[in-house]
Structure 1
């Protein structure tokens, strides 16, 4: 069984100091740094990550404490229960970083609510786990016996895969009277090792010497490597080739083309003939990758490029060149050509975007982290310095969080209704000349928030419906749109409940919650409700919900559904009247009065006398619009003593409705009553009056009617103004009055309307109808030449809500 290697990772004396290393914040870099030795066993403690980040252990799981991105994720792991970072697998620094001076693992630790990103750097520190190794365990050296004391013979040195002090080699030579070891530092990359002759050689006395070359590294404890030196003493060709320089230094761009001359070496040999002819070759210790890149001409000593150079793969090459003469035995010498590869900006930056908070709510506060952006460039110096930018006019910005790491954060408020999403293109540009660049994009979707209330297509709807409508009749459709999306834009409609008189609004009309269709639930009556004003609300399905209202004015249009109603005794049956046979033409017997509950033309009444029996000519007539029954001529003995008059009252609706009044007139002998005589006298005077008196009376009547019309219009305008400023509430019912002119120009009330129901949400209603004397009442009325009113009349209907 082999004993454990001294100084290995299992040594408790070396492992304990690494476990006690404290976590330090790197100055000016904003990252948490730890150190762990290579070859640490599984479970080795690295650091109390959660504690060093200032996080409570109880909040690690709720806040989704995790490692978002990491290099070589199998090497390190974090325990989310206690927040400890530990070694998960064997870490070999030489395998991980090669011969790089720095070797670190970079982790990104993320916690949510609120979102925070921490950058952790774990430095893998070298331990002395690799002994020095000679490429050849046996080196043969041929030395002519005539070489001068102090001559040096190059030796192949050892290589140590470790770094720092662990790779600092010291060489020792086994005791010898003839030779000493000469070590010279050629530069920072390597050492020149040679065997120095201290005593003249004698081949006959000592043809061969066996020496042991030992290389010890600087680790504690140090590790050793050994190589056998077999020195053969030659008897001829006592001059070896000599190079002009021991070390040649060359700088080449990584874009150098194949066949380019690297260096032309010159080695001189003081011997003559074949002993002075030099052949050049690459040393046996030249690495295979170096042989793939360079070649040397054996006769001229020219070194040329034969492969593609890449700074990112190899930054320098060490070429050992051997010059051998053609003597027998041959003599040789060595020199080194150190080629340093210069970086060229031949690599574009690389971008990676990690989305964290997508989609983003439109009410997200400024500064919200949306995504993480990581950039890298394999070039060096300015060629590898990368800067990131965003296109202009975007509500986002890039915030640098760590070297080559950025956060995409919200820079201004969002509005989904204006822009539903953004195609964010991140551009990374290096500092080379000319610069190289790369892009990466991420779609940032804006999530909707219920920040818009439904908006009606009209703030106020004015519609009309005829009375006596069918229950459930469609009145109109209201429509509202919501600028939000999905549930926040789903609109439902409802009535704004109120009282209409003694009834609830919902008993009269309804609105469909989804379509916004407004229906009348029952038949409406113009005589009871001429105008209905109410509001419809629209609310969305957001949380919290938003809503708005629209006003509706529903005018109930009149239908001719009421027949004229007779007033006075005529309404209950036949009326009897006595008339003296001495009554002359134009004598007023009586006046038939009627009232129609409808409005407008439907309530405009006309009177006519039914024709008498066949062949009989009645001595009576009735005023077309006044209803006054009067004689058309003087009575005589031929007239029947009993007259039966039927007066037909007709409105102007479509179709017209009628009522009849029956008058029984008894013709008696003798003088008429004083009242009737006075009326008859007045009628005769009027009939016998001169044309000048008739015109004067007509002018007075016209002036009176015009004055009353102007007064009525002023009153109507004042009531409209008062009604507009009136607050919501029931409107006191008023009594509409129909004012008619008499045959002589005086005014009297001829009809009264039932009190109307007035809505408090709009101005009171005022209807006015005026007919000038002597003019046809309507172009749509049928002409009745036999029932015309010769005196003319004016009829005004006032329907006022006070």
Structure 2
């Protein structure tokens, strides 16, 4: 009559009444019955009758390795700034094994990583703490996320394992400066580019994220410094545009430095250079100036005589600045070049032949200067040339007149001399020569009264002239009114002495001259 009296746990065991064998009625889960207690026992009471007796039975449940290590979560997320230094430590939660004894002794292993390692520390209670250690600096721009596998293995036979996935996100630090895709940009732009013309759109990239990668653009320097007034730069888009009219003739090269700055703390910046070459357009007409003028032109000037020199220039460059000169026959205001030509490149106006009476007293030439640009620009200038007869030798005709008391000299002097081409010495020689030729000797009879000596001007200069009325005794005959007397410059003290000697011809020339031109 053997039977078992359970204290609430009779469902785990049963007794064979015939044999008295205690056997397991249902599987016993030690961790469910006893938890993590080192000793796990189930108390039973068995009764036998005749005589009635009670026996206490204690069934110890021995642990087997039926529980694998378990981490609190399957994935563990960590955020680590890339600015953290090597040897930085980050604590982790370990795994739990419901078994006891050797079955619950855990070891850990971290998957291979060049940036992380793993340490396990035990405290006084033999409890272990896990630490993730940074062994190499992180670079978010290179690897923004690291995935590691942490494995826990117990000491059972066979061993069981548990794992957790470590997902490490690298937080950005402002450790990257903005970078342009080129360090130097070479741009060519025509000088007639309108205001607002896009020169270039710059683009600088920052490998950071968030505000650390937001970039703004500014001009940092110009060469020459005046370039700041010529261009504009959009702060956000990096667009460089023409702000003011470019002028190749004023500045043809600009060196512009641009800075790209991020919004990190502290901000970092990158730089680039824009080398802008301004291209010439044919926007300047040729300029011409008469730099030398040899006037008047003697009529006996030989062919090839240079009578004027024109200086031509064009502020443009290349073919736009190359100019040629010509005397166009087809312009309305131009007349035939006549005996003159102009050097195509030299600008020299010269004679092509000896001057003739038919050429007239003056010539008016229109000089055309034209550049080689597309389209070509031109300018004209008018040059007036005065032509003068060459000085002629004085012709003398000496003969006897019937009925006269002595030899009578008949003089016909026609003298035209250009003031700018006759020297003072030449004038003096002519005057003395005329006086000696006209002296008749003691037989000459003069009219009544003393002859008047023609004196030089009181101004004392060859350039001074005035018209005066003088009576000159030139002997018998009709009064002359076409005599021009040139007086040299003499001191005032000689007006009664030396002057009479030098100008003896003035008191011996016969005739009456109403108008005398004094120099």
TM-score (norm 2): 0.64
Give the secondary structure class of the aligned counterpart of 2:11.
Answer: helix
Q: Provide Cα deviations, 1:268-313, integer angstroms capped at 9, x if missing partner.
A: xxxxxxxxxxx4322x3x3231x21222221233332210122222
1:308 is matched with 27
Question: Could you say which residue in structure 2 is the equivalent of 1:142?
Answer: none
Q: How does 1:739-754 map to 2 (within 5 A)?
A: none
Name 1:196's counterpart in structure 2.
none
SS at match of 2:113: coil
What residue number does 1:599 align with? 317
- State the distance in 2 between where 1:353 and 1:369 align: 20
- Out of 129, 151, 163, the position equivalent to 1:405 is 129
- Say whether residues 1:527 and 2:246 are aligned partners: no
Structure 2 residue aligned with 1:298? 17
Give distance in 1, aligned partners of 2:261 and 2:371.
48
Alignment of 1:612-691 (within 5 A): 618-632=338-352, 642-665=362-385, 670=390
Distance in 2 between residues matched to 1:379 and 1:467, nearest whole Å: 87
- In 1, the alpha carbon distance for the partners of 2:335 and 2:268 equals 81
Once residues 264 and 284 of structure 2 are traced to their aligned partners in structure 1, the CA distance between those partners, rounded to angstroms, is 51
Residue 160 of structure 2 corresponds to: 436
Which residue number in structure 2 is paired with residue 578 of structure 1? Answer: 297
Q: 2:184 aligns with which of 457, 460, 470?
A: 460
1:704-746: CA deviations, max 9, x gaps? xxxxxxxxxxxxxxxxxxxxxxxxxxxxxxxxxxxxxxxxxxx
Which residue number corresponds to residue 507 of structure 1? 229
SS at match of 2:72: strand
For the 8 Å contact 1:644–1:663, the answer to whether it is kept is: yes
1:61-210 correspondence to structure 2 within 5 Å: none
Equivalent residue number for residue 8 of structure 1: none
In structure 2, how many angstroms separate the alpha carbons of the residues matched to 1:389 and 1:335? 50
Distance in 1 of aligned mates of 2:309 and 2:222? 47
Q: CA deviation at 1:486?
A: 0.9
The question of whether the paired residues in 1 share the 8 Å contact of 2:75 and 2:167 is answered with no
User: In 2, distance between residues paired with 1:514 and 1:615?
Assistant: 64
The question of whether the paired residues in 2 share the 8 Å contact of 1:375 and 1:405 is answered with no
> Given that residues 224 and 255 in structure 2 are in contact (C-alpha distance below 8 angstroms), is that contact kept between their aligned partners in structure 1?
no
Q: Secondary structure at the match of 2:117?
A: strand
The alignment status of 1:541 with 2:263, answered yes or no, reads yes
CA drift at 1:581: 5.7
Change (3 A) 1:460 1:618: same
How do 1:373-384 and structure 2 match up within 5 A? Answer: 373-384=93-104
Structure 1 distance, partners of 2:335, 2:252, is 49
Contact 1:353 1:372 (C-alpha < 8 Å) held by counterparts: no
Deviations 1:534-573 (A, max 9, x none): 3111111111111122222222222222211112358xxx
Contact kept, 8 Å, 2:86 with 2:136, in 1: the verdict is: yes
Q: Determine which of 66, 71, 77 is the counterpart of 1:351.
A: 71
Kindly provide the CA deviation profile for residues 235-256 of structure 1, in whole angstroms up to 9, marking residues without a partner as x: xxxxxxxxxxxxxxxxxxxxxx
Q: Secondary structure of the equivalent of 1:542? A: coil
Aligned residues: 380
The yes-or-no answer on 1:427 pairing with 2:151 is yes
**Counterpart for residue 220 of structure 1:** none
Secondary structure of the corresponding residue to residue 83 of structure 2: coil
Question: In terms of Rg, which structure is larger?
Answer: 2
Q: How does 1:240-255 map to 2 (within 5 A)?
A: none
Distance 1:496 1:660 in 2: 47
What is the root-mean-square deviation in Å for CA atoms of aligned residues? Answer: 3.5
Where does residue 475 of structure 1 map in the other structure? 199
Whether the 8 Å contact between 1:386 and 1:404 is mirrored in structure 2 is no
| Deviations, residues 593-626 of structure 1 (Å, cap 9, x unaligned) | 2111222221111112211799978454333222
Q: How much does 1:373 deviate?
A: 0.6
The alignment status of 1:492 with 2:210, answered yes or no, reads no
SS at match of 1:351: coil
C-alpha separation between the residues in 2 aligned to 1:635 and 1:339? 153
What's the offset of the Cα at 1:507? 2.8
SS of 2:71's partner is: strand
The answer for unaligned runs of 5 or more in structure 1 is 1-278, 325-329, 673-802
Aligned equivalents of 2:201 and 2:251: distance in 1?
21
More relative contact order in 1 or in 2 (CA 8 Å, sep 6+)? 2
What does residue 426 of structure 2 align with? none
* Kept after mapping to 2: 8 A contact 1:575/1:664: no
| CA deviation string 1:147-205 (max 9, x = no partner) | xxxxxxxxxxxxxxxxxxxxxxxxxxxxxxxxxxxxxxxxxxxxxxxxxxxxxxxxxxx
CA distance in structure 1 between the partners assigned to 2:337 and 2:189 by the alignment: 48
* SS of residue in 2 equivalent to 1:518: strand
Contact 2:326/2:368 (<8 A) preserved: yes
Q: CA deviation at 1:338?
A: 5.0
The Cα of 1:394 is off from its aligned counterpart by 5.4
The answer as to 2:118 corresponding to 1:393 is no
Alpha-carbon distance in structure 1 between the residues aligned to 2:182 and 2:336? 66
TM-score under structure 1 normalisation? Answer: 0.43
| Aligned mates of 1:576, 1:477 — CA distance in 2 | 62
C-alpha distance in 2, partners of 1:615/1:461? 55
CA separation in 2, counterparts of 1:490 and 1:524? 33
